[in-house]
Amino acid sequence: MSSTSYLRAIDAAPVRATGTAPNESEEVLSEHQPAEKSTVEKHLSTPVIEPASSGEPRKNNVFNRTGDFLLHQVLPPAIVVLLLLGVWEVLCSQPGSALPSFTQVISETKELILHPFYDNGGNDVGLGWQLLASLKRVAYGYSLAVFAGIALGVLIGQFSWAMKGLDPLFQVLRTVPPLAWLPLSLAGFQDSHPSAIFVIFITAIWPIIINTSVGVRNIPEDYRNVARVIRLKGLGYFWKIMLPAAAPYIFSGLRIGVGLSWLAIVAAEMLVGGVGIGFFIWDAWNSSLISDIILALIYVGVVGFILDRIVAYIGQIVTRSTSAS
């Protein structure tokens, strides 16, 4: 089409005058326009709700866990301890009481509590040094008992001939009281330090042997069959099959063993002398310092509790990691 024809066509197109009625297509368009505007306005007028911050639920969970821990783990023993201290104070505050009251113990042992690491030379040292000396002996004897006890327990649990030969002997030896071994160890070592370590070793080894052997004997037969199929032997069998299955039993024995070790060293140090919490208790008895004895007993109990918690915590970590692997 030429430009002249195109201009003529435009001029010939009907033009709606102002105020005339719109045609049908324009009516449809005008009907839809207000609806679109109202929808947009509705969305714009709707308030946007921001998502809650992820840090708030975490803080609430932390607070809830802390509250549950304080309520169920800290509050009950705290109430019991306060009640016991109150009973102790009432009973021992009576005239003619043979034991000092709680407040009297605190007043008489204030220097020991405030200065646990004083050192005046020789055996005249604070309770901190006494406890560290005892813990050092316990560490040596208990470590030897752990290695020997687990090895013998695995041997007895894995091989029936070892169980038949060694179990009766162990059942006889474990009934001997710990202090009954002390004269024999003094005669053999000719020194009080290794003698005390031997007493700890011989005291702690029996529950470790027994619990380890029970755990090894209770390994499921399916685990053993898998080990045969993939040909696991030696250390591979121990780490991948035996330890994960027997770990709860082993650490039960270790917890019993560490408690017996701490018990044995206190009794042994009363006899062998030297620096140590056992000797401190015996020396306080000879000096009629009952308050010092009570304070030392409290320290012994707290340290024993901490040792048990440490072994239990390590057991949880090892058991969880072996189960995951």
What would the DSSP string read from start to end of 257-321? HHHHHHHHHHHHHHHH-SSSHHHHHHHHHHTT-HHHHHHHHHHHHHHHHHHHHHHHHHHHHHHHH
Instruction: Tell me what pLDDT residue 308 has.
Output: 95
Is 277 within 8 Å of 266 (Cβ atoms)? yes
Residue 196 resides in a domain: yes
Residues spanned by the domain of 294: 102-113+123-324
Instruction: Tell me what pLDDT residue 30 has.
Output: 44
Instruction: Tell me what pLDDT residue 226 has.
Output: 83
Instruction: Tell me what pLDDT residue 55 has.
Output: 56
Question: By C-alpha distance, which of 193, 160, 213 is closest to 275?
Answer: 193
Residue 284 resides in a domain: yes
Residue 147 resides in a domain: yes
Residue 139 to residue 263: CA distance in whole angstroms: 13
pTM of the shown model? 0.75
Q: How many domains does the chain have?
A: 1
Is 182 within 8 Å of 195 (Cβ atoms)? yes
Instruction: Tell me what pLDDT residue 25 has.
Output: 43
Residue 50 resides in a domain: no
Residue 283 resides in a domain: yes
3-class DSSP assignment, residue 125: strand
Residue 165 resides in a domain: yes
- Residues recorded for the chain: 325
Residue 14 resides in a domain: no
Instruction: Tell me what pLDDT residue 47 has.
Output: 52
Measured in degrees and rounded to the nearest 5, phi and psi for residue 125 equal -130, 165
Residue 81 resides in a domain: no
Local mean pLDDT, 10-residue blocks, the chain (325 residues) = 45 46 44 47 49 58 76 85 92 88 93 91 88 94 96 90 90 90 91 91 95 91 84 79 87 95 90 88 92 95 95 88 62
Q: Residue 170 is part of a domain; what is its CATH number? A: 1.10.3720.10
Is 144 within 8 Å of 137 (Cβ atoms)? no
